Amino acid sequence: MRRRDALAAGGALVGTLSVLPTALTAGCLDFETLRREDAWRELVVDPPAGIYVPPKIDAMLEYGSETESGLEFTLSAMRPHSFWTVAGTERARADLRSHHTLHLMAAVRDAESGVAVPTTVTTRIATAGSDAGTDTDADTDTDADTDTVDQRTLWPMLSQRMGFHYGDNVSLPGEGTYEATVRIDPPTAALADEFADRLDQPVTTTLEFEYDPAAIDALERTLLDEGEGRGERGALESMGHAPEPVSLSTSTSTPTSTSADAVAYSATGDDIVVTLDRVDDSDGAQADSGAAADIQLAIGVRTRYNRYPVPFAGISVESVSDGDGQYSADIETQETIDPDRGHHYRVEFEEVVLESADELAVSLDVPPQVALHEGYETAFGSERVVLSASLPEL
């Protein structure tokens, strides 16, 4: 059976909790709830190496959304909690601090296609009605502006309920109305099709929201029992906030349609699902390499259970000829987004290489460089997923 309790934010405090006062400053959760919060982490003592079901489900508070320059910006919040940052192959836990008042989350998607945009997101939070909340640059130095209460670059993140988004634990001084100025830079990923013209400039928007500490503290938390999959391989159900084009969400392992946008094959690894299709090189994608190649492939990489995009990862591809045991050198891919395929990685092969290949091996060499919520922190180790090299005709 499920146990419901209004606990405090995720994570254990660094340092000695016993020296903290029982009641913290206005807008912060008290020591007792922080102490109880630490207790539920012991429910999964030794998580598996891979995606697993975390011990709890946290509710989320929607703060609102705005559409600017064809992009939809959504702002939401939940209780503050620990998460894990990733730098190369190293991971470190970003612990909850006593001054954190909420976990702020921003999602940025193309409004028309629903494709999540991998980029840099900066935020500036100011008291409503101040000049600080209307600046065009959220990363401008505002040390002299006393109306600005928080300013930061949000972490790109993956969570099992929300998928790919941006977020961090933040500290607000107390209940009230605030304005969040959100700025994104042009994506570092290659931009294909109409994205090449729509997403090539910085975009800034402002969202107003009401912060109520009691509303954050009242958000429901559902603790999962062992019989409900807690600590086992699997994932929580998506909240439905991360739509992606259907063409890269299939899990079929056999050829599908022969249209240009159809998935040719897909295969499932430990933590990722890899899909393969052939690209018409007239779609306007930016390419790093100037070398002439005959065939361009789109490699979709999604999380195994909820099919979320896996951005900012190191992906390589090699062709495999089983008959003579020959392997091509690993070819690095170019991270790309377009409105039809969504997020994927592109690679170019000479036609003669593909004609002689029996399989294509896709390797996750470097894990996604995103912060990971609980249930993902042990996932995305190096793995190799093999697909058939047979491709549909354009």
**What are the tens digits of pLDDT across the range 102-146?**
999 999 999 999 999 999 999 999 999 776 555 556 655 544 456
Burial of residue 271 (CB within 10 Å: 0-12, 13-18, 19+) is buried
User: What value does the mean pLDDT take over residues 290-318?
Assistant: 89
- pLDDT bin (cut points 50, 70, 90) of residue 167 is very high
Examine the pLDDT at 31 and tell me if it is beyond 50. Answer: no
Q: What Å distances lie between residue 312 and 125, 163, 336, CA to CA?
A: 27, 14, 10
42-92 per-position pLDDT tens digit: 568 889 999 999 999 999 999 999 999 999 999 999 999 999 999 999 999
Q: In what order do the strands lie in the sheet with 121-127?
A: 148-153, 121-127, 176-184, 203-211
User: What value does the mean pLDDT take over residues 18-23?
Assistant: 31
Examine the pLDDT at 8 and tell me if it is beyond 80. Answer: no
Supply the pLDDT for residue 245.
Answer: 58
Residue 230 to residue 54: CA distance in whole angstroms:
6
Examine the pLDDT at 7 and tell me if it is beyond 70. Answer: no
Q: Side chain identity at 247, as an amino acid letter? A: S
Q: Do residues 346 and 356 lie in contact, with contact meaning Cβ atoms separated by under 8 Å?
A: no
Q: Which CATH number is 3-228 given?
A: 2.60.40.2480
Q: Do residues 286 and 196 lie in contact, with contact meaning Cβ atoms separated by under 8 Å?
A: yes
Q: What Å distances lie between residue 247 and 92, 97, 102, 283, 298, CA to CA?
A: 35, 42, 36, 16, 11
Q: What Å distances lie between residue 341 and 104, 187, 193, 277, 313, CA to CA?
A: 29, 16, 10, 10, 17
Can you tell me which residue has the tokens 């599908």?
Answer: 256
pTM for the model stands at 0.84
User: What value does the mean pLDDT take over residues 153-170?
Assistant: 98
Domain segments of the chain: what residues?
3-228, 246-388
Supply the pLDDT for residue 356.
Answer: 85
> Where is 198: in which H helix or E strand?
helix 195-198
- pLDDT bin (cut points 50, 70, 90) of residue 350 is confident
Q: Do residues 346 and 131 lie in contact, with contact meaning Cβ atoms separated by under 8 Å?
A: no
Supply the pLDDT for residue 227.
Answer: 87
Strand 331-332 to 272-279 pairing: unpaired
Find the largest Cα–Cα distance for the chain. Answer: 71
User: What value does the mean pLDDT take over residues 238-247?
Assistant: 62
* Candidate from 134-143, 207-216, 368-377 with smallest mean pLDDT: 134-143
Q: Which CATH number fits domain 246-388: 2.60.120, 2.30.30, 2.60.40, 2.40.10?
A: 2.60.40
Supply the pLDDT for residue 313.
Answer: 98
246-388 and 3-228 share a CATH fold: yes
Residue 351 to residue 264: CA distance in whole angstroms:
16
Residue 220 to residue 244: CA distance in whole angstroms:
28
